[in-house]
Structure formats: C-alpha cells, structure tokens
Amino acid sequence: MTSRKLALAVTFLLVLTAAAPVPNHGLDPAGMDKSVKPGNDFYAYANGTWTRNTPIPPDRAVLGVFTILEEKANERTSKLIQDADKSKAAAGSEERKIGDFYAAFMDEKSIEARGLKTIQPELDLIAAIADKSSLARILGSQLRADVDALNNTNFYTDRLFGLWVSPDFDSPTRNVGYLLQGGLGLPDRENYLRKEPKDVELQTKYRAHIAAVLGLAHVANAAERAEHIYALEHKIAEAHVSRTDSEDVHKANNPWKLAQFSAKAPGLDWTAYFKAADLSAQPMLMVWQPSAVTGIAKLTGSEPLAVWKDYLTFHAIDRAAYLLPKAFADEHFKFYGTTLSGAPQQRVRWKRAVGATGAALGDAVGKLYVKHYFPPASKAAAQAMVKNIIAAFGHRIDNLTWMSPATKMKAKAKLSTLYVGIGYPEHWRGYDGLVIKRDDALGNAIRSQLFDYHASLAKLAKPVDKTEWWMTPQTVNAVNLPLQNALNFPAAILNPPFFDGTADPVVNYGGIGTVIGHEISHSFDDQGSQFDAAGRLQNWWTKDDFAHFSGAADRLAAEFDKYEPLPGMHINGKLTLSENIADVAGLSASYDGYRRAYSGKPAPSADGLTGDQRFFLAFAQVWRSKFRPEALRNSLLTNGHAPGEFRADTVRNIDEWYAAFNVKPGEKLYLKPAERVRAW
C-alpha cells in the first residue's frame, strides 16, 4: 500500500476489540451513526458514534479501528519478552538475547550513567575528519540496509544513502544492492521545500531542535551550527526525487558499475565510501534515484568540511537519543513525537522496549509469538480464505470484457505462481554472532543494526529465496513483494477484528478478506503490471489493455483528488493511486470470495442487517481512524495511503454496495454506473 520501491506494503490502524469471539464478530453496531444516510457518508454511517466518543490516547498521534490491535500484539509480545528475561536460558541463546536486550532498554540508571560514552568513538572519528576522503569513509561506514516500505524512502533517512538488497529488476533470480536517497532529518523533501505557514513553522522548530540537541551535548555555538546544518539538509532535499517520481520503477532501473560512480556522481570519494561500506567487491549497484545520488554526491565535494562534521555530529546524537540520557530522549520526542506528529505524551518505557526488542530480534520474538498465539487451525482457516479469494480473482480475470486473451493468459500465469506466506516464514532467521549485553542498551541497538546490514550484504552472494519474509510474525501489517511475486500476512494481523477462524465468514471476508484481495491486486495494478510472473521488470500488458487500465486509474486519482481532509489540503490522487486501486480491486475480489463461501447466496441477516450490508460495514469499520492534525498533515504530504475515512468510501465504486444500502442519485457518494472505477 505504498508507492512501493521493492516492497508493496499496506498499513492498518487497528482498534482493539475483545480477544474472545463475540456474536457477529468484527461488527460494532454501537459505533454506527444510523442518522447518517449511507449514500451521503458511508464512513460516518459505519463509524460516526465511535468517532465522536473515542479520544486519541495521549501517547498516540493516530488511532484507528486498528491501532489497538497493534497494542494487543505488543501486550502479548511484552509478556513473552518479560518471560524470556526471567528465564534461565543459556548465555548466547535467542531467549537470553531477547531478555537481555529488553532488560538493558529498561535499565534507565545505566543509560544515564553511560551518557554519550557509547557513541563517543563515533563522535571522535567525526571530529577527526580532515579531508574529503575521511569524510567519505565515515559516510560509507554509516550505510545501513533497508528502506521504509511504508513511506517509499531510505529507512535510515538521516544517513546519506540507504541500501536495499533485493532481486534484480532484470534478473530476479539474483540479489543486487539498490542505493537510495537519504540524508534528511525531516521525513520528506516537501517538509523543507514547501512555504505554507505550517511548513515554515515546522522548519523553524526543526532548526531549534538541532540547536537543542547540540546544546545538550555541550557543542559550542549550537544555534549558529544548527542554521548551517539545516541549510545543508535543505540542499540535500532540493536534490531529492519526489515520492511520486520515485514510484516509476522504470526510472529506478539504473545499474551502475562501481567504477562509474566517480564519473556519474562526482564529489564523493566513492572508492573510500564503498570500501568503508564493505561494498568494494560488488560489480554494480542499482541506483534508484540517480539525480539525487548525483546531487548529494556533489554536495559532499562543494559544502564546507566543517558543516559536514557538524551535520554528522548532530545526527549521530539524534538517532541515538532514544537510548541516551533522559534529556536527549525527551528532546527527541518533543520534536518527532509532539511537533511533527502531535502526540502530547511519550509511550511508556516498557512499550518502547518491546518495540525495540522486536525490531532487533524480530524472528526470535516471532517464534515465541507464533508458538503461543497462532495455532495451526488459524493458519489453515486463513489459507482457505486466500485460496478462495485467489480463485475469485482468477474468475474476475476470465470475465473481464476489456482485457485481451494475451494479457489474460499472462495475468493467470502470474496468479498461479503467486507465493502467499501466512502467519510466519518457512525459514527462521538466526542471530548467531549478534552480541547483546544486559547493561548496554544503545550498544545493543547499534550492533543489531550492523548485524542486519551484514546479513543483507550476505544475501548478495546468494540466490533469491522467493519465500523470504520482510515482516515479523508479530507485525500488524501485510505486504506485496513484486520482485518475488509473493505476499506476506503476519500472524498478528490475523486476529479480530480482521480475522477469527470461529466467526461468521462474512465479516472475515469484509475484514481480512479485503486485505488479502488488496495485496493480491497489487500484483496486477499500475505497478504490478510492470513485473511478470518471475518478478522480472517487464510490462506484460498489451498497449490497448494498459491504456484502458490507465484510464480507470486516472478516474480514481481524480476521485481522490477531490477529497479535502484538512482545509486547503487535498489527498494526492497520484501519490495514493496504487493503494486506492488495490482497495477497489481487493473489495471486489473479496466480495466475490464471500459469495463463493456461501455458495453464491448472501450471508444470513443479523442485528437487522443483511449479509451484504454486514460485509460492507465490516470493511468500513476496519478503516475507522482518527488523526491528530499534525500527523494528518504529514501523512497527506508523505504517505502513499489515503486516510482511512476516504478508503472506507471506496464502496462507492462497487455496484453491490448500491443495492445493499439502496443508494440513490442525488446522494453525495452516488456515482453513475459509467463513472464507477472497475479495475478488475
């Protein structure tokens, strides 16, 4: 559900419901507002009372019918982690590492006592930079692997570049490294370049944050240095490629031999950079945003060395702040948690510790989670749903009147080779060699990031594993991987209200079924159409078929462009297009799957609602969500997903919704049949 570079991800904001099965599970009749006409505002009809009566917790920037399922997963994971901490597991075992990582994070006294000691060696190396070659060595040593699939960017955004190791666009049986733009402290280039009052205010507060961090570290002339650091980041932002441009995978297919970097992107000592990054032996790297790499490299050669040293000093401290003494952690949250996202209160420490432990030792924690909370019966029930929805999707392909036989054949071939991972990976990752110390919280985090980086580098010498997972079982999310032609549905999302193996199937299809359909459809949308059944970057549509599909996509983009979540701020229909297409297609496929599950008949009525009404309400209630204004503003600028309120109104493109709720012309959501987007 993002603008997906190499991973296509869908994020859900979950609201906690009871863990035990309940009648008509997945639906919340009390949260509806039946005074609203479904055809005028279906989201409000489904969720209006919930929206009015449910406050956002003070430690959250966003709340959704879903954020609290994430809370439930965290509570479960917390118990498992704390049990591991109390166990007498052998030194070096995964269980011991889990317990020690968590205990170190919770040991605030030791963190206070250490001060900046853990990162002082890095700060000393930065202070010793004497020329552009030593600058390149420091920058190369900081390269880390991963991108944020939810936000289409280098996950370690404050590092100059990021590395993603994944199948080659042209030869998907081999892994290659993809170099991605980075170097920013704010989430996106638009945060620096926009000149609206709110943007200028954020920029001012960010400069103040930089100065505050430097001041806490007793760096002289903090305010003046902060201005220079911000000016450098602004220039980096100007070099960045926009998120919408980054979506064009054909623009990203840029294999550069390592020997070409100095000519294509002069300014940075690439030989020193790649040596420090342990990449010298690679014959080539794929450069996702070539103009950004060229522009950023130029800045390393043109901007004063002293400014680069200040920039590196600030980011070394700020990225470590969450595990530095309280004053640093509080300042970091003050800006990123409150100013940027609007949350007035930081999450309690144990929740942060659980999140950090799960990030560092994800599969080790995942093994425990699956053992306790994902029984074989749940996996079997979810697999049955997947099989049914894939069959429904295939049937929809067969019945498309606008698609040529040649494209249909390729689509069916891709569908038949789709790998769908349910619950947990087939092969667990190991953590041998990762050193975790019970009294070194920040050191543990730094070592785990470096461990992940070397694990990614190791994949460069190995064939592609189509079954590799990119999420942990305890993650509340789902992902489509176009280069692997694969989907992952972690165990934690396969819970109420999305899914309950003992519940009435209709609400499961309205919940997790639409997510399954959504992720399947990503393999066939505006971006999925660029990757064939083997994961190769190759458009398998005929020209006329793609033109027809593009026309439908343009209408959907225009539909979302009209939505105005904040005064003067509209949804970017192009930025959110892939996700919106997937919502339409996923809802359609899951509806067909639901009818197949009931042998073509509607589900039974309950609580005065027909089977079809229950299906569509389950979908709309999955998307209930509330944003703080700051978080909503940032989401509109940077997120490839539309806010949940507008995703719920996707139903206006589904014929069966009109019949289910007797929606008539003149009602606000009504679209004439010819205007409804029919992607699949």
Q: Could you tell me the CATH number of the domain that includes residue 296? A: 1.10.1380.10
Q: How confident is the model at residue 273 (pLDDT cuts 50, 70, 90)?
A: very high
Whole-number pLDDT of residue 602: 85
Specify the DSSP class assigned to residue 419: E
Residues 159, 119: Cα–Cα separation, whole Å: 16
Residues 387, 374: Cα–Cα separation, whole Å: 19
Report, in angstroms and rounded to the nearest whole number, the Rg of the chain calculated over CA atoms: 25
- Residue 621 in domain: yes
Per-residue pLDDT at 651 exceeds 50: yes
Per-residue pLDDT at 171 exceeds 80: yes
Higher pLDDT, 14 or 328: 328
Please name the helix (run of DSSP H) or strand (run of DSSP E) that holds residue 245, with its range, or none. Answer: helix 243-246
Q: Are 364 and 97 in contact (CB under 8 A)?
A: yes
Whole-number pLDDT of residue 417: 94
**Token pair recorded at residue 600:** 């073509």
pTM for the full predicted model: 0.89
In terms of domains, do 486 and 577 share one? Answer: yes
In terms of domains, do 537 and 651 share one? Answer: yes
In terms of domains, do 59 and 152 share one? Answer: no
- Residue 218 in domain: yes
Q: Are 631 and 6 in contact (CB under 8 A)?
A: no
Higher pLDDT, 25 or 637: 637
In terms of domains, do 283 and 382 share one? Answer: no
In terms of domains, do 380 and 318 share one? Answer: no
- Residue 86 in domain: no
Whole-number pLDDT of residue 77: 93
Residues 220, 208: Cα–Cα separation, whole Å: 15
Residues 623, 116: Cα–Cα separation, whole Å: 43
Whole-number pLDDT of residue 67: 82
**How confident is the prediction for the chain on average, in pLDDT?**
91
Question: Average of pLDDT values for 654-662?
Answer: 98
Per-residue pLDDT at 264 exceeds 80: yes
- The strand pairing partners of 165, in sequence order, are 177
Residues 143, 196: Cα–Cα separation, whole Å: 33
Higher pLDDT, 67 or 209: 209
Residues 391, 589: Cα–Cα separation, whole Å: 9
- Residue 28 in domain: yes
Question: Average of pLDDT values for 625-645?
Answer: 92
Whole-number pLDDT of residue 539: 86
Q: How confident is the model at residue 26 (pLDDT cuts 50, 70, 90)?
A: low
Question: Is residue 489 helix, strand or coil?
Answer: strand
In terms of domains, do 515 and 602 share one? Answer: yes
Helices assigned H by DSSP within 157-221: 189-193, 197-216
- Residue 565 in domain: yes
- Residue 597 in domain: yes
Per-residue pLDDT at 234 exceeds 90: yes
Cα distances (angstroms) measured from residue 3 to each of 139, 153, 190, 246, 441: 27, 9, 16, 8, 34
Per-residue pLDDT at 9 exceeds 80: no
Instruction: Classify residue 174 by burial, with Cβ atoms within 10 Å: 0-12, 13-18, 19+.
Output: middle
Q: How confident is the model at residue 332 (pLDDT cuts 50, 70, 90)?
A: very high
In terms of domains, do 664 and 562 share one? Answer: yes
Per-residue pLDDT tens over the stretch 376-410:
988 998 999 999 999 999 999 999 998 999 999 99
Q: Can you tell me which residue has the tokens 């069966």?
A: 656
- Residue 113 in domain: no
Per-residue pLDDT at 148 exceeds 50: no
In terms of domains, do 34 and 165 share one? Answer: no
Amino acid letter at 58? Answer: P
In terms of domains, do 257 and 155 share one? Answer: yes
Residues 646, 44: Cα–Cα separation, whole Å: 10
Rounded-to-10 torsion of CA 462, 467, 470, 472: -120
- Residue 346 in domain: no
Residues 163, 286: Cα–Cα separation, whole Å: 10
Q: Could you say which of 279, 297, 323 is where a domain stops?
A: 323
Q: Could you say which of 289, 323, 357 is where a domain stops?
A: 323
Question: Average of pLDDT values for 613-632?
Answer: 94
Whole-number pLDDT of residue 500: 83
Domain encompassing residue 551 = 8-66+376-423+476-675
- 250: Cα separation from own chain's centroid: 22
Contacts for 323 with CB less than 8 Å, ≥ 6 apart: 105, 111, 329, 441, 442, 445
Question: Is residue 608 helix, strand or coil?
Answer: coil
463 upstream amide cis, omega within 30 of 0: no
Report strand pairing: 284-287 vs 175-181: parallel
Q: Could you tell me the CATH number of the domain that includes residue 21? A: 3.40.390.10
For the chain, the domain total comes to 2
Q: How many helices (H) and strands (E) does the chain have?
A: 29, 13
Which of 174, 177, 153 lies closest to 165, judged by CA?
177
In terms of domains, do 304 and 388 share one? Answer: no
Per-residue pLDDT tens over the stretch 467-525:
999 999 999 999 999 999 999 999 999 988 888 877 789 999 999 999 999 999 998 88
Q: What are phi and psi of 242, to 5 degrees?
A: -65, 160
Contacts for 314 with CB less than 8 Å, ≥ 6 apart: 185, 210, 213, 214, 225, 226, 229
In terms of domains, do 45 and 126 share one? Answer: no
Phi-psi category of 90—alpha, beta or left, where left has phi over 0 and alpha has psi -120 to 50? beta
Q: Could you say which of 280, 306, 323 is where a domain stops?
A: 323
In terms of domains, do 504 and 632 share one? Answer: yes
Which of 399, 404, 392 lies closest to 549, judged by CA?
404
